[in-house]
């Protein structure tokens, strides 16, 4: 696999080595040995998968301490714009984000470390999204930030009228209105 550092330290694009011929293709979607060596030592404990239609925007979500999560995300079918927002107080990139198009065709993956909010928007007719987490989901620990926060200025690459949100995602506060549970100077690992 190849790793590509983004403009925010710790957020990494993972590009697998794909072997294709007339029969189809093969690639390792995850190798603990390679991932630990090239990105970060992680013990993933839960895999999740979702299917969403065009215009669905899920996010921006995070889990608070002590149940904060790292995620390794990818798309099996379709295309999404995947976004990671740095919400670590004191970070030189606090409030900045990385946006990467993930698709079943490009097979890219994005690693989102602890201390980041995460979300994605479906750009294709349908998308099947898969992610690995290094802690279990704890509903009492969830937090969120408004997808349309002007401070974040995320271009979701969708017309606003096409965006479909859950009831929960419609009411998240702006970044300036949350007391981030993450501190850049305190290790989250």
End-to-end C-alpha distance for the chain, whole angstroms = 24
Whether 131 sits among the annotated catalytic residues: the reply is: yes
Whether 138 sits among the annotated catalytic residues: the reply is: no
- Edge-to-edge strands, sheet with 126-133: 2-5, 12-15, 109-112, 71-77, 126-133, 46-53
DSSP state of 173: P
Distance of alpha carbon 145 from alpha carbon 170, whole angstroms: 10
Instruction: Kindly report the backbone phi and psi dihedral angles of residue 139, in degrees, each rounded to the nearest multiple of 5, phi listed first.
Output: -60, -30
Distance of alpha carbon 100 from alpha carbon 70, whole angstroms: 17
Q: What sign results for the dihedral spanned by CA atoms 84, 66, 182, 166?
A: positive
Distance of alpha carbon 10 from alpha carbon 70, whole angstroms: 11
Q: Which two tokens stand for residue 153?
A: 């200025």
Choice among 61, 118, 138, 189 that is catalytic = 61
Nearest-CA neighbor of 138 among 83, 47, 65?
65
Choice among 62, 97, 118, 131 that is catalytic = 131
Instruction: Please identify every residue annotated as catalytic.
Output: 61, 131
């Amino acid at each position: 696999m190849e790793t590509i550092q983004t403009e925010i330290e710790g957020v990494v694009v993972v590009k697998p080595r794909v072997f294709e011929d007339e029969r189809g293709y093969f690639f390792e979607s995850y190798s603990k040995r390679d991932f630990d060596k090239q990105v970060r030592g992680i013990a993933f404990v839960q895999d999740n998968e979702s299917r969403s239609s065009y215009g669905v925007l899920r996010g921006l979500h995070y889990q608070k301490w002590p149940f904060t999560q790292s995620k390794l995300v990818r798309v099996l079918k379709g295309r999404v714009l995947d976004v990671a927002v740095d919400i670590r107080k004191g970070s030189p990139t606090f409030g900045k984000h990385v946006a990467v198009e993930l698709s079943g065709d490009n097979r890219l993956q994005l690693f989102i470390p602890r201390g980041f909010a995460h979300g994605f928007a479906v750009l294709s007719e349908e998308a099947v999204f898969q992610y690995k987490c290094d802690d279990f989901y704890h509903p009492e620990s969830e937090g969120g930030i408004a997808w349309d926060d002007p401070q974040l200025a995320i271009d979701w690459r969708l017309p606003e009228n096409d965006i479909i949100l859950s009831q929960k995602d419609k009411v998240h506060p702006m970044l300036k209105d949350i007391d981030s549970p993450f501190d850049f100077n305190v290790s989250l690992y």
